[in-house]
Structure 1
Amino acid sequence: MNKKKVLIITYYWPPAGGPGVQRWLKFVKYLPEFNIEPIVYCPSNASYPITDASLADQVNPDLTVIKQHIKEPYKIAQLFSKKSKTISKGIIAEKEKQSLMERLMLFVRGNFFIPDARKNWVKPSVKYLSTYIKDFNIDTIITSGPPHSLHLIGLELQQKLDVTWIADFRDPWTTIGYHKQLKLTSASKIKHKNLEKKVLNNANKIIVTSPSTKVEFEQITTQPIQVITNGYDHEKVTTFGLDKKFTLSHIGSLLSKRNPEVLWKVLRDLINEDSDFASNFQLNLVGAVGKEVLQSIEINDLTNSLNNIGYVSHSEAIMFQKKSQLLLLIEIDSEITKAIIPGKLFEYMVANRPIIALGPIGADVASIIKETNTGQFFNYQDYDALKLTIKQHFEAFKKGDLKTNPIGLQKYSRQQLTKNLAQFINP
């Protein structure tokens, strides 16, 4: 039986690093097992804020990858300010700490590049892919955003060629955390909302990564919506000895808006109250860290316990996850972040180390952690409960008995999730 051809339009592809690339890199890996032949379309010269050359090794050499040139405004912006690179990573300073150049760049990004800085890739992509889709008899396309401008490629191709179009939202659109920081005019806000509505009501099917996003989108569209979360892959089994110190490790970007003041206070107090804790504790931050986060750590006298490692490759990140005594997951304390389920949560779960998670009340993350018995979730007011849990984990660590007993993880494996995707593509 011939495999069904599906064209996947994505901005993030190796050598891109970070969480954005993982989702479709893994789906593409497993789709052929379910009688689907993926074809990937991505930029040839993208300006990725972080790169990881090692991820290219995970791409099947038989996979068809089409690449086309893209104009990247961030490259031009970097000639005027190094801040453009941090903004492209999502690291945006507090309003009162922004320079004039930062404020200007945010205004330009928000109001002149709607829905985002890759909007100028839409027309040339539609022109090129229109011919390609006809030549290779492709009847299904998938667009993955952000950047949400890629959904506009799907919209135009669908209207032009009458293909089946599936829009995959790795994150929400107008309710994503940084959206309010873009200094949008009233007209720009309306334009974003109208584009979002147009995409959601014209896509034949919609995929989201969390139940809360599904609920949000169901207020806008009646099109079929499927929740397919991110997940974990079966990495090569490597045994890492656990850290000798009582390490609490956060892997991934820790942006200033995610600054967990309550956690820093808990750790400060535990260090001041227990000399044994003070001598054994180490905070690992693996990835980009916002300036305000580092300042809070310093204010709480945690600098001597800090190991600020910076960005590492994905394989190194897996190593840190497996070696750490505790894993830290943090989300912004906001109503609109309840829907965010970071991809690293699933890697954390199979690292077999207890998770300490902080986020808003009612977060989707909380239910997954509870369901899988992989850790504890706290809101930003849970000082006493957070302190008690870390203290209990430290006592278990001293006895050599700090462990976790996860249950029901299989449903979050990349292979199972790809099976769910294949059934949604081709019921």
Structure 2
Amino acid sequence: MEPRPKRLLIVTYVFPPFAAVGVYRILKFCKYLPEFGISPVILTPNNPNTMARDEGLMAQVPHYVPVHHTPTVEPFRWRPEVKSSGDTEVKQSLSAETGREAEPGLVSRFKQTVKQNLSIPDTSYFWRWSGLWTGLRAVKEEKVDLILSSSPPHSAHLLAAHVASRTHKPLIVDFRDLWTQNTSYAERKLSPALGRRDRRYELSVLRQAAGITVNTDTFKAQLMENNSFLRSDQIDVVTNGFDPDDFKEFVASGTGENRFTLLYTGSLYGGHRNPEFFFTAVRMWMNQRPEVAGQIRLLFIGNWAPEHAGLIERHGLGEVIVKRDWMPQREALKETFAADLLLLFQGFDPALAAAIPRKLYEYMITNKPIMAFAPPGEIPDLITQYDCGVSFSSPEAEPIIAFLDEAFNTWKHRRETGQTTHALRSMPALETRQQVRRLADMCHRLA
């Protein structure tokens, strides 16, 4: 008689049909954990603070996975007015002439102050309480053996820790990004008192955790360096990786344009993901080689920070840049496989060296060249290991122009010789199934 699969309650703030970045990692947990004797159960809010919906993701949720929904109070849904303009979204408070946001008024500043004080560790804090009773009921009804929470938002860990302590179940903490060591943490500009409170929350979760999973080796090293009580055997690295099943329909995809297409998918927000240096280099390249102007296209899919609104016009790139809003996963992948050069804007701050965005794995499997902008660390190491492109560690224009020249010439040669398709890149060690197996092994050790 086969033993009963162990039941794992996964506490996640976003789950289909909502489509924030973290949902894909959880979907793969649900898909592959049962192969290794772990049966997932989901606890998630039914009204998360996200506007992105991808109904197609529902088809990826295995029918045998129970989903327990709970309401959550979201008092901080204040957003600047947004209007749609074709393929762009522009904040109404933005000055078209300066590309800068208007100065916030007294009411806006008051709201932000209140929001910050009630948003420790994040704006989803109130889910910690509204999800508690649903979580306790799920543990009882589903005969749960252990609990996993995935962040961000880190309030998911507080909820999971509360449920785990009430039910005496082992807790696994999954960090897609770190908590107080997050690269953008300083941008929150918390007061010392709020920072200490946030750190207390983090320490309480880490001390309760029976196991921890992180996205990269550097994340593991940073966690251990900052928390001396953690043991190396307590933390496993489970990268996002890629699922070959997601790409089968795109194997034979070739370039669908008569123009050399450079693609970026994802958000371009203020600060370190500012593409102005790249636009400057492209403008210089076009000045040096005027003939490329009619043969190139820069396609950006995703949301832009308001301060980027004037960049296209300022650099005279309106004829070559196409900007589209966020789109469902399958549509974005179709564009990715049809592109000729894939762009990754991570930023140059050394503090960003530890992270690997999920889209890098998607880029890599296409076997198309990648042009990344990142500090020395995880991203350039991975690109070098698999020989799938170049990573630039500074915004200097000349090396960027030289690579654009080389990539453009290669594209022209491939088209002239009829080479318009790419076989998928083989990367067995990075397949999601192998990564999820590590999580399953941890579950079996702990329960």
Same fold at TM > 0.5: yes
Question: C-alpha displacement at 1:382, in angstroms?
Answer: 3.9
Distance in 1 of aligned mates of 2:381 and 2:46: 39
Distance in 2 of aligned mates of 1:47 and 1:388: 43
Aligned with residue 212 of structure 1, among 205, 211, 218 = 218
Question: C-alpha displacement at 1:134, in angstroms?
Answer: 3.2
Over 3 Å counting, the alpha-carbon distance change for 1:62 and 1:323 in structure 2 is same
Distance in 2 of aligned mates of 1:408 and 1:227: 21
Asked if 2 retains the 8 angstrom alpha-carbon contact of 1:374 and 1:405, the reply is no
Paired AA for residue 254 in structure 1: L
Q: CA RMSD in A?
A: 2.5
Question: C-alpha displacement at 1:129, in angstroms?
Answer: 2.0
Identity across aligned pairs (percent)?
A: 29
Aligned with residue 354 of structure 1, among 369, 372, 378 = 369
Matches within 5 A, 1:52-131: 52-75=54-77, 77-78=78-79, 81-82=80-81, 99-100=104-105, 103-131=109-137
State the match for 2:378 in structure 1. 364
1:244 aligns with 2:263: no
Paired AA for residue 228 in structure 1: V
Please identify, of 405-414 and 265-274, the stretch whose mean Cα deviation from structure 2 is larger: 405-414
Asked if 2 retains the 8 angstrom alpha-carbon contact of 1:5 and 1:139, the reply is yes
Asked if 1 retains the 8 angstrom alpha-carbon contact of 2:367 and 2:425, the reply is no
Over 3 Å counting, the alpha-carbon distance change for 1:95 and 1:4 in structure 2 is farther
Question: C-alpha displacement at 1:146, in angstroms?
Answer: 0.8
Distance in 1 of aligned mates of 2:191 and 2:346: 27
Over 3 Å counting, the alpha-carbon distance change for 1:45 and 1:407 in structure 2 is closer
Paired AA for residue 419 in structure 1: R
> TM-score, normalized by length of structure 1?
0.91
State the match for 2:23 in structure 1. 21
Asked if 1 retains the 8 angstrom alpha-carbon contact of 2:8 and 2:40, the reply is yes
Asked if 2 retains the 8 angstrom alpha-carbon contact of 1:71 and 1:120, the reply is yes
Secondary structure of 1:237's aligned partner: helix
Secondary structure of 2:49's aligned partner: coil
Paired AA for residue 394 in structure 2: Y
Asked if 2 retains the 8 angstrom alpha-carbon contact of 1:118 and 1:149, the reply is yes
State the match for 1:50 in structure 2. 52
Question: C-alpha displacement at 1:98, in angstroms?
Answer: 5.0
Over 3 Å counting, the alpha-carbon distance change for 1:345 and 1:295 in structure 2 is same
Question: C-alpha displacement at 1:95, in angstroms?
Answer: 9.4
Gap runs ≥5 in structure 1: 84-90
State the match for 2:296 in structure 1. 281
Question: C-alpha displacement at 1:318, in angstroms?
Answer: 0.4
Distance in 1 of aligned mates of 2:270 and 2:138: 43
Over 3 Å counting, the alpha-carbon distance change for 1:57 and 1:349 in structure 2 is same
Encode CA deviations 1:147-200: one digit per residue, 9 max, x unaligned: 101101122223222211000011111233443333421111111122122222
- Larger relative contact order (Cα-Cα within 8 Å, sequence gap ≥ 6): 2
Please identify, of 205-214 and 141-150, the stretch whose mean Cα deviation from structure 2 is larger: 205-214
Paired AA for residue 157 in structure 1: V
Paired AA for residue 397 in structure 1: W
Over 3 Å counting, the alpha-carbon distance change for 1:102 and 1:414 in structure 2 is farther
Matches within 5 A, 1:262-277: 262-277=277-292
How many residues end up aligned between the 2 structures? 417
Asked if 2 retains the 8 angstrom alpha-carbon contact of 1:353 and 1:403, the reply is no
Gap runs ≥5 in structure 2: 83-90
